[in-house]
Amino acid sequence: MVSPSSQSLSRLSKIGWIGLGAMGRPMALNLFTKTHLAHQRGEWAGYGKEKPSFLICEEDDSRAESFLFDLREKGGAGLVNRVERVGSGKEMAMHASRILTMLPSTPQVEAVYLDPKGGILAGLQALPLDTPSLGDLPASTSPVKPVSGVEELSSSTNMSAPYMPPTSSPPLDSPTSFAPASSDPNPSSGADAPHTLLIDQTTLDPTTARDIASQIHATTSHRALMLDAPVSGGTGAAERGELTIMFGSPSSEATRMAVELLGRMARDGGVIDCGSNGAGVGVKVCNNLILAINQIALSEGLALGRSLGLDPVLLHNVVNTSSGQSWSSRVNSPLEEIPGSPGSRHYAGGFQTRLMLKDAGLALSAAAVCNLPIPMTWAAKSVYEAVCNEGEGEMATRDFSVVFEWLKKKQAEGVERGWKADPTST
Ligand code: NAD
Q: Is 120 in the pocket of ligand 1 (CB under 6 A)?
A: no
Ligand 1 mean position to 238 CA, how many Å?
Answer: 13
Q: How confident is the model at residue 417 (pLDDT cuts 50, 70, 90)?
A: confident
* Burial (CB count within 10 angstroms: exposed 0-12, middle 13-18, buried 19+), residue 74: middle
**297 and 262, same structural domain?**
no
**294 and 206, same structural domain?**
no
Q: Angle at which helices 375-389 and 353-369 pack, to 10 degrees?
A: 150
Identify each DSSP E strand in 201-322 by its residue range: 224-228, 231-232, 243-248, 266-275
Tell me which of 115-124, 179-188, 306-315 is least confident.
179-188
**367 and 320, same structural domain?**
yes
Ligand 1 mean position to 59 CA, how many Å?
Answer: 11
Which residues does 249 contact at the CB level (< 8 Å), separation at least 6?
Answer: 181, 225, 227, 255, 258, 273, 276, 277, 280
Q: Is 58 in the pocket of ligand 1 (CB under 6 A)?
A: yes
Per-residue pLDDT tens digits for 323-363: 999 999 999 999 999 999 999 999 998 899 999 999 999 99
**217 and 86, same structural domain?**
yes
Residue 54, helix vs strand vs coil: strand
Q: Is 108 in the pocket of ligand 1 (CB under 6 A)?
A: yes
Q: How confident is the model at residue 166 (pLDDT cuts 50, 70, 90)?
A: very low
Q: Which atom of ligand 1 is nearest to the CA of 112?
A: 18
Q: Is 202 in the pocket of ligand 1 (CB under 6 A)?
A: yes
CATH number at residue 377: 1.10.1040.10
What pLDDT shows up at residue 47? 62
Q: Which atom of ligand 1 is nearest to the CA of 204?
A: 32
Which range marks the domain in which residue 354 is found? 285-421
Q: Rounded distance, CA 65 to CA 253, Å?
A: 35
Per-residue pLDDT tens digits for 115-127: 999 999 999 999 9
Q: Is 86 in the pocket of ligand 1 (CB under 6 A)?
A: no
Q: Which atom of ligand 1 is nearest to the CA of 235?
A: 40
Q: Is residue 426 part of a domain?
A: no
Ligand 1 mean position to 22 CA, how many Å?
Answer: 6
- How much of the chain exceeds pLDDT 70, in percent? 83
Residue 397: is its pLDDT beyond 60?
Answer: yes
| Mean pLDDT computed over 125-139 | 84
Identify each DSSP E strand in 130-280 by its residue range: 147-148, 196-200, 224-228, 231-232, 243-248, 266-275
* Burial (CB count within 10 angstroms: exposed 0-12, middle 13-18, buried 19+), residue 144: middle
Q: Which of 377, 425, 384, 378 is nearest to 402 (CA)?
A: 384
Q: Is 246 in the pocket of ligand 1 (CB under 6 A)?
A: no
- How much of the chain exceeds pLDDT 90, in percent? 75
**122 and 84, same structural domain?**
yes
**318 and 252, same structural domain?**
no
Q: Which of 266, 279, 285 is nearest to 355 (CA)?
A: 285
Residue 419's region, left for phi above 0, alpha for psi from -120 to 50, else beta, is alpha
Number of domains making up the chain: 2
Dihedral, 134, 136, 138, 141 alpha carbons, nearest 10: 20
Q: Is 118 in the pocket of ligand 1 (CB under 6 A)?
A: no
**326 and 206, same structural domain?**
no
Q: Is residue 118 part of a domain?
A: yes
Strand 147-148 and strand 98-101: pairing? unpaired
Identity of the amino acid at 177: S
**298 and 261, same structural domain?**
no
Choose one of 216, 245, 276: the last residue of a domain. 276
Q: Is residue 236 part of a domain?
A: yes
Q: Among 90, 284, 358, 381, which one carries the catalytic annotation? A: 284
Residue 100 near residue 17 (C-beta atoms within 8 A): yes
Choose one of 276, 307, 340: the last residue of a domain. 276
Element (H, E) at 98: strand 98-101
Q: Is residue 227 part of a domain?
A: yes
**269 and 314, same structural domain?**
no
What pLDDT shows up at residue 144? 73
Per-residue pLDDT tens digits for 23-75: 999 999 999 999 999 988 887 766 666 789 999 999 999 999 999 999 999 99
Q: Which of 330, 329, 341, 248 is nearest to 286 (CA)?
A: 248
Cα 75 to chain centroid, rounded:
24
Question: Atom 13, ligand 1: which residue's CA is nearest?
Answer: 19
| Mean pLDDT computed over 84-106 | 97
- Tell me if residue 284 is catalytic: yes
Q: Rounded distance, CA 300 to CA 145, Å?
A: 41
Q: Is residue 172 part of a domain?
A: no
Question: Atom 15, ligand 1: which residue's CA is nearest?
Answer: 108
Q: Which of 199, 149, 228, 209 is nearest to 362 (CA)?
A: 209
Question: Atom 31, ligand 1: which residue's CA is nearest?
Answer: 104
Q: Which of 331, 109, 107 is nearest to 234 (CA)?
A: 331
Ligand 1 mean position to 7 CA, how many Å?
Answer: 30
Strand 243-248 and strand 231-232: pairing? antiparallel
The pTM assigned to this predicted structure is 0.88
Choose one of 222, 256, 276: the last residue of a domain. 276
Q: How confident is the model at residue 192 (pLDDT cuts 50, 70, 90)?
A: confident
**265 and 206, same structural domain?**
yes
Annotate 103-156 with three-state secondary structure.
CCCHHHHHHHHHCCCCCHHHHHHCCCCCCCCHHHCCCCCCCCCCEECCCCCCCC
**203 and 64, same structural domain?**
yes
CATH number at residue 211: 3.40.50.720
Q: Is 301 in the pocket of ligand 1 (CB under 6 A)?
A: no
Q: Which of 77, 2, 65, 3 is nearest to 33 (CA)?
A: 77
Q: Is residue 4 part of a domain?
A: no
| Mean pLDDT computed over 171-198 | 60
Q: Is 16 in the pocket of ligand 1 (CB under 6 A)?
A: no
Residue 113: is its pLDDT beyond 50?
Answer: yes
Ligand 1 mean position to 212 CA, how many Å?
Answer: 18
**79 and 201, same structural domain?**
yes
Q: Which atom of ligand 1 is nearest to the CA of 19?
A: 7
